[in-house]
Amino acid sequence: MPPRIFAGRLPTASEFAQHDNGAAKNPAAAEESPRQKNRIQAIALPLKTYFVTGTDTGVGKTVLTVLLARFLRGRGIAAAAIKPVSSGRRGDARQLFRAMDGALPLDDINPWHFGAPLAPALAARLEGKKILLGDVLAHCRRMRKRFDALVVEGAGGLLSPLGEDFDSRDILTALRATPIIAAPNRLGTVNAVLLTLEALPQSLRRKAKIVTMQTEPQKRPTSAARSNPALLEQLCGAEVFTLPWLGRKIVYPSGRMGSRVRRTLQGILQ
Ligand SMILES: Nc1ncnc2c1ncn2[C@@H]1O[C@H](COP(=O)(O)OP(=O)(O)OP(=O)(O)O)[C@@H](O)[C@H]1O
Ligand SMILES: [Mg+2]
């Protein structure tokens, strides 16, 4: 049995209320003074490796990776965003290519691509190929040397089989990257995030960032969406961020990212 990671108590009803519909600790939703907005420019960002994983497929990993890359590059940091292994359509790699304004060829962003919409390990086998962990790590390390910051998108969830006997957790652990866990902000998310955190080695769990994503437009957030961030913070003690629904065209020109979104991204990267 893996060790339980949360010893916290459940938040009370009034604590939820203090979260102002989940917004109080959420930089994306909180009101900002002009001075706070200016602080975005003033705080330095650490240069390091981030690994964007998720509770599942289709949970906002690419959206988050694109936003982080654009944010870093918009701050003048030579940042690369890569998705080393992918299967099915190659849309994610193309989004990362655009987020980097073409600074890295598609085959460096995504060297291992297989056509079948299956777990990459299986999709590769169908083409008579094997993906080896050592090769993927060597590529990530090469990219890390070339750039000041590296954002790596996994494929599927943390334990989806990527290649011969490895998954995103193996890459993340070997790179000692900061885990960023994308999770759709809905009923069931708390369980999925806690399972993902439990699967991380303890040393990485401590620095994990959780980002609940509004993956669909909603007139009003559901009560689960409003309470998830506070409940997660209480249960696992990790930093929890929330990104709202950002519309269908999420690949922003760098200048158009809202200040609340930028503050959230800054919090995730620190
Ligand atoms: N905050 C958001 N605002 C608007 N759309 C979002 C947001 N988060 C996710 N989406 C949408 O949800 C869908 C899934 O997101 P995304 O492609 O980033 O998931 P993923 O986890 O990268 O999936 P995959 O496992 O296929 O790589 C996309 O259509 C994306 O545009
Ligand atoms: Mg993706």
Give me the DSSP letters along the chain: -PPP---PPPPPHHHHHHTTTTTTT-TTTS---HHHHHHHHHS-----EEEEEESSSSSSHHHHHHHHHHHHHHTT--EEEE--EEES--HHHHHHHHHTTTSS-HHHH-SEEESSSS-HHHHHHHTT----HHHHHHHHHHHHHHSSEEEEE-SSSTTSEEETTEEHHHHHHHHTPEEEEEEESSTTHHHHHHHHHHTS-HHHHTT-EEEEE--S--SS--HHHHHHHHHHHHHH-SEEEEE----S-----GGG--HHHHHHHHHHH-
Digit-coded pLDDT (tens) for 112-160: 999 999 999 999 999 999 999 999 999 999 999 999 999 999 999 999 9
Any domain includes 132:
yes
Which CATH number fits the domain that encloses residue 229?
Answer: 3.40.50.300
Catalytic residue among 83, 130, 207, 219: 83
Domain assignment present for 12: no
Q: Indicate whether 23 belongs to any domain.
A: no
pTM, two decimal places: 0.87
Domain count, the chain: 1
Give yes or no for residue 19 having a pLDDT over 60: no
Residue 235 is predicted with a pLDDT of 95
Residue 4 lies in a domain: no
pLDDT tier at 12, thresholds 50, 70, 90: low
Does residue 175 fall inside a structural domain? yes
160-202 pLDDT, tens digit each: 999 999 999 999 999 999 999 999 999 999 999 999 999 999 9
Residue 3 lies inside a defined structural domain of this protein:
no
Range of the domain at 78: 49-269
Distance from the alpha carbon of residue 93 to the mean position of ligand 2, in angstroms: 8
244 CA: nearest ligand 1 atom: 1
Residues around ligand 2, an ion, CB closer than 5 A: 61-62, 92
